[in-house]
Amino acid sequence: MEETYLLNVEGVKKKILHGGHGELPKVQDGSKITFHFQTLKDDFERTVIDDSREAGMPMEIIVGKMFKLEIWETLLRSMRAGEVAEFWCDAIHTGMYALVSRGMRRIAEGRDPLEGQKHRCGMGNMFDYHSTGYDDLDELQRTPQPLIFIMELFRVEEPSAYKRDTWAMNKEEKLAAVPVLHSEGNRLVLRKEFGQAAEKYQEAVICLRNLQAKEKPWEEGWLKLESLVTPLVLNYCQCQLELGEYYEVLEHTTELLQKHKDNAKAYFKRAKAHAAVWNEREAREDFMRVAQLDPSMAAAVKKELNLLGERMRTKDVEDRKNYQGLFKSSRG
């Protein structure tokens, strides 16, 4: 079809290449949309930037889960199942594409899509990056420009229709679930819902551990998965610290440090757990180890050591008072 359809959105043009069937799907928060996409530059050659078919599997997004390229949800909502459409999007909608593409490429490579990302808004993270690690994406980041998206919509599933237990997922489904669970956990942390966040991180770790069990320990495939596991375990431990589950933190950080002896963040979280359960010597040793491994954390370590000292002095005074009271009562 040659006619160009203008969506009721500024800076977007739509052209249907192949008509779909049925009514427009009902899309709600939590719906899973499965589709193939191709991203092209708006130049004479129509240079291809990304093509999900080359990755061998379609793209999936969960509606309302803070997906960084919001315009994609708008485009997909306008499509019927089986439809193929071409969308021209002005630069006002494509400024975040470099970061989105970077994350998708890292997932395809078996790397952590959040590696190096600070806990800030998307635009803040964009300005923090000196390089995405991909020359073509660096160019898009430096000079935001209109892009063309060719999309083929396969299906839209209601939240209750696609939820599957971890054990029932195949390898590709588990890998795809991990960044979604990671993002959901981060969102719940921002809302201070630490119990639910911990469950999301734990579920993501289980997915990865199941995959690791099929790899040879310390070989390339196992190490790639381990690089995804470590930040999730640390996030899980932070939630447990907030919930007061200190022995849980001690168990998981100790297990982590048996594999990664130089992980300063693991030492820091274990030190805080030791301090919370009055293990003064162990806490001080772990805090000092943090300062040695990561000098940038020296100020945080100093603050925690001061707090530990104050708590121990207060505890000592209270213990003496209790002991004296007990001694007097026994004499009476």
3-state secondary structure of 228: helix
Domain 12-157 - what CATH class?
A: alpha beta
**What is the pLDDT at residue 104?**
80
Q: Inter-axis angle of helices 220-243 and 246-259, to 10 degrees?
A: 160
Residues 201, 239 contacting (CB under 8 angstroms): yes
**What is the pLDDT at residue 2?**
41
Please report, for the chain, the start and end positions of each structural domain, with discontinuous segments joined by +.
12-157, 171-312
| Fold category of 171-312 in CATH | 1.25.40
DSSP 21: B
Residue that has been written with the tokens 């375990």 in this structure? 233
Residue 78 CA to residue 33 CA, distance in Å, equals 12
Residue 141 CA to residue 95 CA, distance in Å, equals 7
Residue 89 CA to residue 91 CA, distance in Å, equals 7
Does residue 327 have a pLDDT over 60?
A: no
Q: Give burial (CB, 10 Å; 0-12/13-18/19+) of 161.
A: exposed
Does residue 304 have a pLDDT over 60?
A: yes
Q: Give burial (CB, 10 Å; 0-12/13-18/19+) of 84.
A: middle
**What is the pLDDT at residue 1?**
41
Residues 153, 73 contacting (CB under 8 angstroms): no
Do the domains spanning 12-157 and 171-312 agree at the CATH topology level? Answer: no
Contacts of residue 328, Cβ cutoff 8 Å, sequence gap at least 6: none
Where residue 254 falls among pLDDT bands split at 50, 70, 90?
Answer: very high
Full-prediction pTM beyond 0.75? no
Q: What percent of the chain shows pLDDT beyond 90?
A: 53
What's the token pair of residue 313? Answer: 């002095």
Residues 208, 232 contacting (CB under 8 angstroms): yes
**What is the pLDDT at residue 131?**
76
The predicted-structure confidence for 154-185, as pLDDT tens digits, reads as follows 999 886 665 555 655 678 878 888 998 999 99
The predicted-structure confidence for 212-253, as pLDDT tens digits, reads as follows 988 998 999 999 999 999 999 999 999 999 999 999 999 999
